[in-house]
Structure 1
Amino acid sequence: MTTPFTLDGEQRKWCAELRTLAARQLRPLAGPEAPGRVNRPLVRALGELGLLARVLPSDGPVRAMDLCLLRASLAQECTEAETALALQGLGAYPVLRFGTGEQRSRWLPEVVAGRAVAAFALSEPGAGSDAAALELRAAPDPGGDGWRLTGEKCWISNAPGADLYTVFARTGPAPRAAGITAFLVPGDRPGLGGQPLEMLAPHALGTLTFDGVPVGAGDVVGEVGGGFRVAMNTLDLFRPSVGAFAVGMARAALGAALAHAGERRAFGGPLKDLQAVSHRLADMATRTEAAALLVHAAAAAYDAGEPGIARRSAMAKLFATETAQYVVDAAVQIHGARALQRGHLLEHLYREVRAPRIYEGATEVQRTIIAKELYRAADVYGGE
C-alpha cells in the first residue's frame, strides 16, 4: 500500500516554507481584485520562485503529491497565487504530456518561467459537465491541409488574456468523445476573440470566440480524434489537486474560526466554551483532516501508477470540495456579521469556495464517475 497517512518531515517542512513564501512574497502581488484579468506579475513571480517548475518539471513526470501539497499550502495563505499556479499547470500539462518536441520546446520554458500564460479551453455554453457534447467545429480548410475552428468556448480560466490555449474541437463525424481533437492555439491567432466574465469567484475567467481560426497539423496535441483522452488524462491528474485547493481553504477558515472563538466573548465567556461552538469546530477539523487524507491517497495512488485513478480522483475532489464549503460556511456562522464584510478573509473564501464544486467536473459528475467505476469493478470481480 502506497497511501501515506502522514506527511514525512521533509514534506511538512516544504509546506511550511510554501505558506511563508505565499504570505510574504505572493500575497502582496495579489492586489485588488480585477475580475476577468490575468495577474501577470503574480504569474511571473511563481515562475521566478521555481514553483511552476514543480508543476511542469522538465526532468521527469509530474508528481501528483507535489501538486497537491503546493496547491493546499498556497491556498491556505493566498488563493490568488494558488489559482494562478494551477491554471498554468492545467493549460500546459497537455503539451507536457502529449505535445510534440517542437511544441514543448516552444512553449514550456515560457510557461514555466511565468512569461507566457496558459489556458485549458474545454467548456462551452452547451457542454459544461457533459464535456463530450462540445460543438466547437474544426472544419477542413479548403485552402490548405489544416482546419478552421468555428464556435465558442465559455467559462475558460485565463481567457481572453492567455498567450496559449489548449483547445478541444470536433474534427470528425464520430459521435461524442470519439470525434474530438486537441489543438494548441496561440492567443494572437487570427479570428480568435473573447470577453472577460465577472463571476462570483475572483479570478480571470472569460469566453472565447473562434471565427475561422486556422490550425494545422503542427497544432494538434496528441492524435487527431484523441482529444478526449488528452482532456480526461489531464483532469485525472488535476482533480485531486482541486481537492487540495479546497483543503487549503478549509484549513484557513478553520484557523480563523479557532482564533475568533478564543478571542470573542459572549454569554459570560469566550465562544469556544460554548458546546455548540466547540462541537462545530471539532466537526470542521475532523472533516478537513479526512478530506486531506483522501487527497493524499489519490495523489499517492496516481504517482505509484495504481489502478482506479479515475475513481480515487473523483472521490478526492468530491469530498474535499464539499467539505470546504461546509467548513467555510461554518466559520462564517461562528464569526457572525463581521465575516460578511467586504475584505474579510472569510468573505473572500466564501466566494472562492463555491466554484470548485462545479469546475473540472461538478459534484454530481464526480458521483457518476465513482458509481461507474464501482459497477465496472463489480463486473470484473463478480460483484464481490
Structure 2
Amino acid sequence: MNGFALGADQEEWCGRLRALSATRLRPLADKGEPGRVNRPLLAELGELGLLERVFDAGALELCLLRESLAYGCTEAETALALQGLGAHPVLGSGTAAQRERWLPQVRAGRAVAAFALSEPGAGSDAAALALAAEADGPRGESGSGAGSGRGAGRGWRLSGEKCWISNAPEADFYTVFARTGEAPGARGVTAFLVPADRPGLTGEPLDMLSPHPIGRLVFDGVPVGPDDLLGEPGRGFAVAMATLNLFRPSVGAFAVGMARAALDATLAYTARRPAFGGVLGDLQAVGHRVAEMATRTEAARLLVYAAAGAYDAGAPDVPRRSAMAKLLATETAQYVVDHAVQLHGAVALQRGHLLEHLYREVRAPRIYEGASEVQRTIIARELYR
C-alpha cells in the first residue's frame, strides 16, 4: 500500500471479492435460515480459499477481505469473521495437537468455531466474567486430558453461563474464557478449547435484531483438563486481547463495507428517482447529505487502513489505533445507512430491500467486540498513558 492508496493488485483483488460475494456467496446466503449457522456458505468460503486467508493474512489484508465481502454479502462476511474470531486463539496459543485437530477443519469450512467471552453480567467489562473453573481433583482425575500437557497437573469443571455468543449453540468447538482465580480481575482468567460434545455443555439460540447466529451457553460442571488449555492458566485475558486487537480494525472494515454499499445504492437511487421536476440528486439538500455520507465513509476507510497498517508494522500504539478505527467506522456506518434509508423513503423499509437488511445489520457492530463507549475509554486511557 502506498500511503493510504491501495495498489492496483489490491484493488483488483477487492473487485474480484465483491463479484464473488454477489455471484457465488449471495445465493447461498439467501437459502440459509436467519439466525442459524449456514454450513453450505461456510463450505463455499473454504472452497474459495477465503477462510485460509483469514489465518494467513495480515491485518490490512483481513480488512480488505471483510470490507469487500460485506459490500456484497454481509452473511458471508460474518460467517468468515466468526471462524477467525473463534479459531485465532487456537492458532496463536493452542498446542500442536489442538491446531492439527481443529484448524484444517475450520479453514475448510467443515468445523464451526466460536469465541465465548461475554456473559449476562460481563459484556463490555470482560474482566468481570464469572464463569467458574473449579479445580477437579488431583493429577489424572479430570474428565478430559488431565495427567498430561501443560499448566496445572489437574483438571477443572466449568460452571456458569455465556451469553450473546456468535455461532452458539451450533459451533463444533468454543474458545471459552473462565475464572480460575490465580489473581483478581483479568489476571485470574484462563482460556480453554471446549469441544461442543463435552458433557454438561448445553445451549439455545437467541432471536436477535440482526440475522446472525447468536446463542446462550450453559456449563454444568463441564470437564476440561491441561490439554484443553489455550496458553497458560491465569493468562487467558491476554489470549482474548490478542485476538480482539487484530479483529477490531477489521470490524471497522466490515462497517465500511456496509457504508459503501449503502452509499452506492443511494447514489444510484437519487440519480434516477423523479422529484420536483428533476431527480432527487438535483436537490441541494440531497446532494449535500450524500456528500457528507461519502466524506465520512472515506475518513472511516482511511482510519481502518491506518490501524491495520500499524498492526502489521508492529507499532506500539495499536490498541489506540484499533479502538479509533472501530469507533469511527461503526458509528459512521450507522450514520450512512440511516441517511440512506431516509433518502430512499418507504421503499427502503420493505422487507428484503438491501437497506432494510443493512439497517438491521449495522446496529450490532457498535456493541460487539467492545461497545463504542469502551472504545472511547481505551482511546482516552492510551492518550493519557
- TM-score using structure 2 length: 0.95
Provide the residue aligned with 1:28 in structure 2: 27
Provide the residue aligned with 1:190 in structure 2: 199
Provide the residue aligned with 1:379 in structure 2: none
Q: Per-residue CA shift, 1:97-139, capped at 9, x if unaligned?
A: 1111111111100000000000000000000000000000000
- Percent identical across equivalent pairs? 74
CA contact (8 A) 1:33 1:202 kept: no
- The counterpart of 1:180, out of the listed 170, 185, 189, is 189
Question: By how many angstroms is 1:33 displaced?
Answer: 5.6
Q: Distance in 2 between matches of 1:33 and 1:26?
A: 11
- Give 1:130-169 correspondences, 5 Å limit: 130-142=125-137, 143-144=141-142, 145-169=154-178
Matching residue's letter, 2:382: E
Using a 3 Å threshold, how does the CA distance of structure 1 residues 149 and 301 change in structure 2: closer, same or farther? same
SS in 1 for 2:35: coil
Provide the residue aligned with 1:241 in structure 2: 250
Provide the residue aligned with 1:66 in structure 2: 61
Matching residue's letter, 2:262: A
CA contact (8 A) 1:4 1:300 kept: no
Q: Per-residue CA shift, 1:44-68, capped at 9, x if unaligned?
A: 11111000110012xxxx4001110
Matching residue's letter, 1:40: R
Provide the residue aligned with 1:54 in structure 2: 53
- Give 1:310-349 correspondences, 5 Å limit: 310-349=319-358
Q: Distance in 2 between matches of 1:318 and 1:346?
A: 22
- The counterpart of 1:273, out of the listed 274, 279, 282, is 282
How many residue pairs align between the two structures?
371
CA contact (8 A) 1:35 1:196 kept: no
Matching residue's letter, 1:4: G
Q: Distance in 1 between matches of 2:35 and 2:267?
A: 34
Q: Distance in 1 between matches of 2:67 and 2:181?
A: 40
SS in 1 for 2:222: strand
- The counterpart of 2:89, out of the listed 67, 86, 94, is 94
Q: Distance in 2 between matches of 1:210 and 1:4?
A: 48
Q: Distance in 1 between matches of 2:294 and 2:96?
A: 46
Unaligned runs of 5+ in 2: 143-153
Residue 10 in structure 1 maps to residue 12 in structure 2: no
Using a 3 Å threshold, how does the CA distance of structure 1 residues 150 and 35 change in structure 2: closer, same or farther? farther
Q: Distance in 2 between matches of 1:109 and 1:44?
A: 12
CA contact (8 A) 2:189 2:236 kept: yes
Matching residue's letter, 1:79: T
Residue 289 in structure 1 maps to residue 298 in structure 2: yes
CA contact (8 A) 1:4 1:296 kept: no
Q: Per-residue CA shift, 1:316-375, capped at 9, x if unaligned?
A: 000000000000000000000110000000000000000000000000000000000000
Q: Distance in 1 between matches of 2:161 and 2:2?
A: 41
Question: By how many angstroms is 1:307 displaced?
Answer: 1.2
- Pairwise CA RMSD of aligned residues? 1.0
- TM-score using structure 1 length: 0.95
Q: Per-residue CA shift, 1:295-315, capped at 9, x if unaligned?
A: 000001100111100000000
Residue 113 in structure 1 maps to residue 108 in structure 2: yes
Q: Distance in 1 between matches of 2:254 and 2:182?
A: 38
SS in 1 for 2:198: coil
Matching residue's letter, 2:334: Q
Unaligned runs of 5+ in 1: 377-384
Matching residue's letter, 1:282: A
Provide the residue aligned with 2:218 in structure 1: 209
Residue 45 in structure 1 maps to residue 44 in structure 2: yes
Question: By how many angstroms is 1:173 displaced?
Answer: 5.1
CA contact (8 A) 2:182 2:234 kept: no
Q: Distance in 2 between matches of 1:245 and 1:342?
A: 22
Q: Distance in 2 between matches of 1:310 and 1:80?
A: 27
CA contact (8 A) 1:36 1:204 kept: yes
Q: Distance in 1 between matches of 2:119 and 2:92?
A: 24
Q: Distance in 1 between matches of 2:353 and 2:319?
A: 37
Matching residue's letter, 2:256: V
Provide the residue aligned with 2:149 in structure 1: none
Question: By how many angstroms is 1:174 displaced?
Answer: 1.8
Farther off after superposition, 304-313 or 166-175: 166-175
Q: Distance in 2 between matches of 1:129 and 1:35?
A: 26
Q: Distance in 2 between matches of 1:294 and 1:136?
A: 36
